[in-house]
A and B are shown apart, each in its own frame.
Chain A
Amino acid sequence: MAKATPTPEVEAETTTPTKDTAPLATESAAGKPANLEPKLEKKELETLIESKLKMDHTLKGHTDNEGENQTLYATLAAKVAQEIVKELGNKDSQFLTELKNIVKSIDTAKDEISAIRPKELAEKDLPDAASSLDIIIQTSEEACSNILACGEELMEIAEFVPSKLNERLMDVSTKLFESSNFDDLNGQRIRKVIKVLHDLESRLKGLLSAYGESYESVSTKKSEDKKKTADEELLNGPQDTDEAASQDEIDAILNGF
């Protein structure tokens, strides 16, 4: 942020060309594309100004000849400029190397992530898995409800039977009630897993959105590479209730052959 908004002091120094700084700008501009031209740090500018002042002082002491003075000045200025460009060039080279390494790391990460088929995972596999778990909760609750109904019915029957049988029936119903605890606990555990799946789905979708079309195409290509065998293609059960064919429908299909 500090570099993007230089202090007024530095900005004034860098944007006000003078007779002394002009050769520098020309030299560096010739060596590099304009948009990559390094900006001088404040400290470097101060050092340059100090050198220039010393140079002026030296030149004044040695000669009063304006032409000779100008030649000496230009030679020294060119030397200083060369040193600075060389130094900044080294910095640029190091920066570019680091930048290349970062880009390479990102590409590697993208390849690794695309290998896990994020698009399919986010848009199909994870929602399907969450949906399957929802169905498990629902069907388990229905089954448990039926078991509880049996226990309640046993309790009602127990009221009309001799005491010894009553005791046995009550014991059986108690065991049914106690055993039905599992449904609540399993439901809570499964809901936690569903939440994790939804979080993962959301993060993957965010990742896909951040990387855009190119990432999706890589992902699709990877998923195409992983072809299922014919038998694997048939393994899609158990079906969701609303998708599953009923026994009557299956019988009708079989009878149709």
Chain B
Amino acid sequence: MAVNKDMSILVVDDFNTMRRIVRSLLKQLGFNNVDEAVDGDDALSKISTKDYALVLSDWNMEPKSGIELLREVRQSDKYKSMPFILITAESKVENIVEAKKAGVNQYIVKPFNAKTLKEKLSTVIGDF
């Protein structure tokens, strides 16, 4: 099944530069329907008002981190199967294990390139 490139995507990062980078790379891949959130709480607020087909989130944010956001999303019946990718500088094994336990679909370590982003997106939403 072809991937709908009009799908709504939420990019969550407390660092404006990173949100712009991810948004621009997504745009190059053909995804233009992208919203941004500055932390976990902001993301939850946006998720509760709009149906997102994918969340791309940083881990290290305050006050609500990416892993906390993921756990809350997975606890909700409505959003528990929502595709969720962490994009983070946290690359220790325990981080990856914890993210997997929390129900992450993919894990991208910073710094990353467009090729890696495309590959990980494909494994979550299908080839495009």
Interface residues of B in 12-56 (CB under 8 A from A): 15-18, 20-21, 24-25, 27-28
Closest to B60 in A: A188
Does A151 lie within 8 Å of B110, measured CB to CB? Answer: no
* A183 B17 Cβ-Cβ under 8 A: yes
Of all chain B residues, the one with the shortest Cβ separation from A176 is: B24
- Asked if B89 lies at the interface with its beta carbon under 8 angstroms from chain A, I say yes
Closest beta carbon of chain A to B86's beta carbon, Å: 14
- A187 and B28 within 8 A (CB): no
Residue pair B114, A145 in contact (C-beta under 8 Å): no
Q: A134 an interface residue at 8 Å Cβ cutoff?
A: no
The answer to the question of A122 belonging to the interface, with a C-beta cut-off of 8 Å to chain B, is no
B63 at the interface (CB under 8 A from A): no
- Residues A151 and B24 in contact in the complex (CB < 8 Å), given A178-B113, A182-B111: yes
B112 within 8 A of A: yes
Given the known A-B contacts A148-B24, A174-B28, are A181 and B60 also in contact in the complex, defined by CB atoms under 8 Å?
A: no
Q: Are B27 and A155 in contact (CB under 8 A)?
A: yes
Contacts of A68 in B (CB 8 A): none
Is the Cβ of B111 less than 8 Å from the Cβ of A178? yes
A252 at the interface (CB under 8 A from B): no
**With an 8 A cutoff between CB atoms, is A177 at the interface?**
yes
**Chain A residues with CB under 8 A of B15:** 184, 187
Tell which of B16, B18, B24, B111 touches A155, judged by Cβ atoms closer than 8 Å: B24
Neighbour of B20 across the interface among A148, A170, A173, A188, CB < 8 A: A148
The listed residue (A151, A174, A178, A184) touching B18 by CB distance below 8 A is A184
* Least Cβ–Cβ distance between B119 and chain A, in angstroms: 14
Q: Which of A169-200 contact B (CB under 8 A)?
A: 170, 173-174, 177-178, 180-185, 187-188
Q: In the complex, A25→B113 CA distance in Å?
A: 86
Return chain B residues, CB-CB under 8 Å to A182.
111
Task: State in angstroms the CA–CA spacing of A144 and B16 once bound together.
Answer: 11
* Contact status B89-A184, CB under 8 Å: yes
Give CA–CA (A160, B15) in the complex, Å.
Answer: 31
Binary A-proximity of B82-110 (CB < 8 A = 1, otherwise 0): 00000001000000000000000000001
Please report which residues of chain A, range 135-185, place their CB below 8 angstroms from some CB of chain B when the two chains form the complex: 141, 144-145, 148, 151-152, 155, 170, 173-174, 177-178, 180-185
Q: How far is the CA of A144 from the CA of B111 in the complex (A)?
A: 15
Cβ–Cβ < 8 Å partners of B112 in chain A: 178, 181
Interface residues of A in 192-227 (CB under 8 A from B): none
Question: Are B111 and A185 in touch, CB under 8 angstroms?
Answer: yes
B113 surroundings in chain A (CB, below 8 A):
178
Residue of B nearest to A191 (CB): B60
Bound-complex Cα distance A173 to B29 (A): 13
Set A141, A181, A188: member contacting B21, Cβ < 8 A: A181
CB of A158 to closest CB in B, whole Å: 9
Residue of A nearest to B90 (CB): A188
**Cβ of A148 and Cβ of B28 under 8 Å apart?**
no
Instruction: List 9 additional A-B contacts (Cβ < 8 Å) besides A152-B20, A180-B17, A185-B89.
Output: A155-B24, A155-B27, A177-B25, A178-B21, A178-B112, A180-B21, A181-B111, A182-B111, A188-B89
> 4 closest pairs, A vs B, by CB?
A181-B111, A178-B113, A184-B18, A174-B114
Complex A-B: 14 CB contacts under 8 Å:
A145-B20, A148-B20, A155-B27, A155-B28, A174-B28, A174-B114, A177-B25, A178-B25, A178-B112, A178-B113, A178-B114, A181-B111, A183-B17, A184-B110
